[in-house]
Structure 1
Amino acid sequence: MKKVQIILIAISLCLTSFNSATADKYFNSVVVQDSIPVQSKEEKRAKAKQELKDSHQRLFVGVNYVYAKLSTDLTFKLENSIFSANISLESNFKLPATRMFFTASLIYRFTPRSGIYVAYYGITRKATFTTEKDYIFLGHTIPTGINGEAYFDTRVLSAGYLLTILQKDHAFLGAYFNVYIMNLTTGFKARHIDLDANLGLTLPLPSFGLAAIFPVKKWFKIHANVGYFGLSFEDLGGSISSFSLLLEFKPIKWLGLNLSYQSFDISVYDIQDGINFIVDYNFRGPALGVSVVF
């Protein structure tokens, strides 16, 4: 009987000790949890901004030198006429079918969620040649045997808002909503002949696209960008699509050496002085460049 009592007393002491330890552990955890300060929304935003600044991914500026193959077709049609003329500026007017030129892009994220995206490129081309047959150009006839100069200049600026969709472990995915300002200028100059047209689209033309950065190694990243714009009015409209794939090699933290492939397609129509213009223009090619990140 005494043995049973001793066993019961021992079990009771063990249970009491266990309950006391459990209570102390629970009490201590509650105290620790209660001692952790709760951050306000403003404090969380400030912390996220500081983390973005410290990540050195707030500002990206890239400049690339593109070697591109170009194709430019112009179609002219007088209003209320069933006849039209089509000219390839590379085949008929001897403009260079390949060209080297600079492109530039910028991404600036002023908050972890929001930023701006800007892209620009410009190409100037001209050629001197002698016409081998009659051409209808800008509503006028250029006769055979005329020695003159043809040109086609392109200026494209795209700028707008960048929304961060995903940001994790230096990987980035964003959607941009941009406005295009585009100016296409073409013409033909010869003795007693001076034809030119400014096929400029300076309206706020919306463009939508995605920009992404995928880190593969600490010293190697892949950038991708795709965009599209389309607009159609009775006497003005067209479409623009762009694509780029860039490999960035980082010898140091803030500097990148880039190898990329870029393509850009424009198809626009306009009416000037009773003439319908249709421009189909594109370039595609590899590029080398540099980028800086802060």
Structure 2
Amino acid sequence: MLKILGISFLCLLAACQTFAADNDLQDTASVKEVDSQVVLRVGGFYSNSNSSMNVTNPVLGEDFKIDFEKDLKLEESQFLPFFEMSYHFNERHSLYIDWKQLHRTADIQGITTPFQVNLEDKIYDIKAGAKLKTTLNMDIARLGYGYNFYQGNNYNLGLSVGLHTMFIKTGFEGDIGACIEQNLVIKCEQQLVHRAIDESVTAPLPDIGLYGDYEFSPGFRFTAHAQYFYIKLDDLKGSLIDIRAGIEAEITESWHMTAAFNYYEVDVEYSKKTHVGDVHVANYNLYYSFIGPMLSVSYHF
């Protein structure tokens, strides 16, 4: 899917270059060179996470939420990288793609509470005292378009619209037993499978935002943006908030450095169903947030 997003971005970029060239040929009143620029930005920041999943207690026959951080020992705070690429053309228009990742693994020597979980329509049994390695990975990719609706000699204000896709991978490795469903009754076998993996991808979801920048001194620019998204469907409910404000300094004509304060939050509830009676057996609740400083370096060409 990331390759598809990258190809889509390149196709959009090529289409915009063609559009800009056609406009230049059609402008017979005056000849004006169209400014275009590509910006590559990489950086990092620390995040705080709170993730859980609905599972079943086989002893009590009741559903409960297992906490990835408290029960399965995944790290709550972690340093994360991010990558952004933008293409600015025709003075007022821009395309952007960005990517963030949160990958975590943890080992636990003995599970205190047994549970059963459904991954990829298969039910797995994890008994008390079992050794377990847990993986929970989440990647967020966004592709969007921005338009500067208000401009001056040293400032811009624009509106952005885009799509973002979330890639979620959940995995358990260790003392894991396989189970089967028969007549709405779960029967667990003694056979160990050692590994259970579930990979889910959300459909591209829309977001909208505002952005702006102001050059208050030669080589120094104040930049800010705010993006928001909320959706509620049959099996998915989620929101995204991204607010950033900072100072960008021009080190050289091509290299810039940015120090910013960022508030970033993703809250997703995702329900999965079995084929038997459409029973919800694997409900994810993924919360990923960051409030604090972030640093990045960008290259302009």
- Give me the TM-score of the superposition, normalised by structure 2: 0.72
Cα deviation for residue 89 of structure 1 reads: 1.3
**Aligned equivalents of 1:108 and 1:219: distance in 2?**
20
Cα distance change of structure 1 residues 259 and 43 upon mapping to structure 2, 3 Å threshold: farther
Specify whether residues 238 and 77 from structure 1 end up closer, same or farther in structure 2 by C-alpha distance, changes over 3 A only: farther
2:166 aligns with one of 178, 182, 195: 182
DSSP-derived class of the 1:290 partner: strand
How far apart in 1 are the matches of 2:228 and 2:111? 38
Query: Is residue 76–residue 278 contact of structure 1 (8 Å, CA) maintained in 2?
Result: no
The root-mean-square deviation of aligned C-alpha atoms, in Å, is 2.7
CA change 1:254–1:98 in 2 (3 A) is: same
- How far did 1:231 drift? 2.0
Q: For residues 189 and 261 of structure 1, what CA distance do their matches in structure 2 show?
A: 38
Task: For 1:270-281, list aligned pairs within 5 A.
Answer: 270-273=271-274, 274=279, 275-281=281-287
Compared CA separation, residues 138 and 175, structure 1 to 2 (3 A): farther
1:199 to partner: Cα distance: 3.1
Matches within 5 A, 1:77-88: 84-88=63-67
CA distance in 2, matches of 1:88, 1:41: 61
For the residue of structure 1 that corresponds to 2:283, the secondary structure is strand
What is the CA–CA distance in structure 1 between the aligned matches of 2:247 and 2:110, rounded to whole Å?
44
Residues 1-59 of structure 1 deviation map (CA, whole Å, 9 limit, x = unaligned): xxxxxxxxxxxxxxxxxxxxxxxxxxxxxxxxxxxxxxx98257853x53x35xxxx33
- TM (norm. structure 1) is 0.73
Q: How does 1:82-161 map to 2 (within 5 A)?
A: 84-136=63-115, 138-139=117-118, 140-161=124-145
Q: Quick one: distance in 2 between partners of 1:136 and 1:44?
A: 73
**Pair 1:171 & 2:155 matched:** yes
Change (3 A) 1:59 1:73: same
Q: Which residue in the other structure is 1:65 paired with?
A: 44
Tell me, in whole angstroms, the C-alpha distance in 1 between the residues paired with 2:102 and 2:238: 20
Q: Please state how far the C-alpha of 1:227 moved relative to its aligned partner.
A: 1.2
Structure 1: stretches of 5+ with no match in the other structure: 1-39
- Asked if structure 2 preserves the Cα contact closer than 8 Å seen for 1:259 and 1:288, the reply is yes
Count of residue pairs brought into register by the alignment: 245
- SS of residue paired to 2:169: strand
| CA separation of 1:175 and 1:97: change in aligned 2, threshold 3 A | same
TM superposition shift of 1:224 = 1.5
Q: Which moved more, 1:113-122 or 1:147-156?
A: 113-122
**Quick one: which of 286, 290, 293 aligns to 1:286?**
293
Q: Which moved more, 1:205-214 or 1:58-67?
A: 58-67
Given that 1:134 and 1:141 are in contact with CA atoms closer than 8 Å, whether structure 2 keeps it comes out as: no
1:221–1:247 contact (8 Å) kept in structure 2:
yes
Say which one has the larger Rg: 1
Q: Distance in 2 between matches of 1:45 and 1:156?
A: 43
Does the 8 A contact of 1:241 with 1:266 survive in 2? Answer: no
In 1, distance between residues paired with 2:154 and 2:267?
A: 33
Per-residue deviation, 1:137:
5.3
1:149/1:237 CA distance change after superposition, 3 Å? same
Q: Please, which runs of 5 or more residues in structure 2 have no aligned partner?
A: 1-24, 119-123, 176-191
Are the aligned partners of 1:117 and 1:176 in contact in 2 as well (CA < 8 Å)? no
Query: Are 1:71 and 1:281, in contact at CA under 8 Å, matched by a contact in 2?
Result: yes
Q: Distance in 2 between matches of 1:75 and 1:45?
A: 64
Counterpart CA distance in 2 for 1:135 and 1:41 is 71
**Which residue of structure 1 lines up, in the alignment, with residue 200 of structure 2?**
199
Q: Which has the higher helix share?
A: 1
Structure 1 171/125 Cα, relative in aligned 2: closer, same or farther at 3 Å? same
Shift of 1:75: 3.6
Residues 226-263 of structure 1, C-alpha deviations (whole Å, 9 max, x = no match): 21222222123422222222321222232111222332
Q: Which moved more, 1:184-193 or 1:121-130?
A: 184-193
Q: Report the equivalent of 2:217.
A: 217
- On the 8 A contact 2:47/2:288 being kept in 1, the answer is no
